[in-house]
Structure 1
Amino acid sequence: MSNETLHVALGDRSYPIHIGAGLLARAELFAPHVRSRRVAIVTNAAVASRYERRLRQTLESAGAKSFSIAMPDGEAHKDWKSLDAIFARLLEEGADRKTVIVALGGGVVGDVAGFAAATYQRGVPFLQVPTTLLAQVDSSVGGKTAINHALGKNMVGAFHQPLAVVADTDTLATLPERELAAGLAEVVKYGFIADAAFLDWIEAHAAQLVARDASALSYAIRRSCEIKAAVVAEDERESGVRAILNFGHTFGHAIEAAMGYGEWLHGEAVGAGMVLAARLSAAQGRIANSDALRVERVVAALGLPVAAPAIGVEDWLTHMGRDKKNEEGRVTLILLDALGKAAIVRDTPAAAIRKIVSAS
Structure 2
Amino acid sequence: MKIKVAATTVDKGYTIQIKRGLLSEAGKIIKRITHDRIAVLTNKTVHELWYRDLHKSFKQVGLKENVIVIPDGEQYKNNRTYNRIISEMLDYGINRHSTLVTFGGGVTGDIGGFIAATYMRGIKLIHIPTSLIAQIDSSIGGKAAIDHPRAKNIIGAFYNPEYVLIDPNLLMTLPRREYINGLFEAVKIAIVRDKKLYKYICVNIDKILDRNARTVEYLVTECARLKTEIIQKDPFEKKLRMILNFGHTFGHALETAGRYNNISHGIAVGWGMLLALQLSYHYKYIDLEKCREIIDLIGKLIGRNKMPKISPENIWITMGHDKKVKNNKVRFILLEGIARPIIREIDKNSFKKALRDL
TM > 0.5 fold call: yes
1:170-211 deviations in Å (ceiling 9; x for gaps): 111111111010000000111110111211110111111110
Distance in 1 of aligned mates of 2:189 and 2:143: 17
Name the CA shift for 1:305/1:199 in 2 (closer, same or farther; >3 Å): farther
1:323 partner amino acid: D
Cα distance, 1:309 vs structure 2: 2.2
Distance in 1 of aligned mates of 2:98 and 2:329: 42
Indicate whether 1:297 and 2:304 are aligned: no
Residues 117 and 126, structure 1, Cα contact 8 Å, conserved in 2 = yes
Name the CA shift for 1:22/1:357 in 2 (closer, same or farther; >3 Å): same
Distance in 2 of aligned mates of 1:304 and 1:332: 28
Residues 150 and 256, structure 2, Cα contact 8 Å, conserved in 1 = yes
1:219-257 deviations in Å (ceiling 9; x for gaps): 110110011001110111111111111100001001111
Indicate whether 1:6 and 2:3 are aligned: yes
Q: Secondary structure at the match of 1:332?
A: strand
Structure 2-normalised TM-score? Answer: 0.96
Specify every segment of 5 or more residues in structure 2 that has no aligned partner in the other structure, as ranges: none
Match of 1:151 in 2: 150
Cα distance, 1:273 vs structure 2: 0.8
Match of 2:348 in 1: 350
Percent sequence identity over aligned pairs: 35
Residues 275 and 306, structure 1, Cα contact 8 Å, conserved in 2 = no
Match of 1:42 in 2: 41
Distance in 2 of aligned mates of 1:83 and 1:304: 35
Cα distance, 1:212 vs structure 2: 0.5
Q: Secondary structure at the match of 1:331?
A: strand
Cα distance, 1:31 vs structure 2: 2.4
Answer with 222-231 or 16-25: which moved more: 16-25
Residues 267 and 302, structure 2, Cα contact 8 Å, conserved in 1 = no
Residues 329 and 348, structure 2, Cα contact 8 Å, conserved in 1 = no
Match of 1:249 in 2: 248
Name the CA shift for 1:62/1:341 in 2 (closer, same or farther; >3 Å): farther
Match of 2:318 in 1: 319
Cα distance, 1:63 vs structure 2: 4.5
Residues 316 and 357, structure 1, Cα contact 8 Å, conserved in 2 = no
Specify every segment of 5 or more residues in structure 1 that has no aligned partner in the other structure, as ranges: none
Distance in 2 of aligned mates of 1:305 and 1:277: 20
Cα distance, 1:62 vs structure 2: 4.0
1:34-92 deviations in Å (ceiling 9; x for gaps): 3x221100011111112112212222334532100111110110100110011000111
Cα distance, 1:306 vs structure 2: 7.3
Distance in 2 of aligned mates of 1:218 and 1:161: 24
Cα distance, 1:10 vs structure 2: 2.6
Match of 1:192 in 2: 191
2:356 partner amino acid: S
Distance in 2 of aligned mates of 1:62 and 1:161: 25
Cα distance, 1:215 vs structure 2: 1.1
2:230 partner amino acid: V
2:21 partner amino acid: G
Residues 206 and 302, structure 1, Cα contact 8 Å, conserved in 2 = no
Q: Secondary structure at the match of 1:200?
A: helix
Match of 2:30 in 1: 30
Answer with 291-300 or 97-106: which moved more: 291-300
Answer with 233-242 or 298-307: which moved more: 298-307
Residues 30 and 62, structure 1, Cα contact 8 Å, conserved in 2 = no
Q: Secondary structure at the match of 1:48?
A: helix
Residues paired across the two proteins, number? 355
Match of 1:233 in 2: 232
Cα distance, 1:300 vs structure 2: 2.1
Cα distance, 1:307 vs structure 2: 5.2
Residues 207 and 301, structure 1, Cα contact 8 Å, conserved in 2 = no
Residues 195 and 341, structure 1, Cα contact 8 Å, conserved in 2 = no
Cα distance, 1:327 vs structure 2: 2.5
Q: Secondary structure at the match of 2:40?
A: strand
Residues 42 and 68, structure 1, Cα contact 8 Å, conserved in 2 = yes
- What is the Cα-based RMSD across aligned positions, in Å? 1.4
Distance in 2 of aligned mates of 1:329 and 1:129: 39
2:270 partner amino acid: G
Q: Secondary structure at the match of 2:136?
A: helix
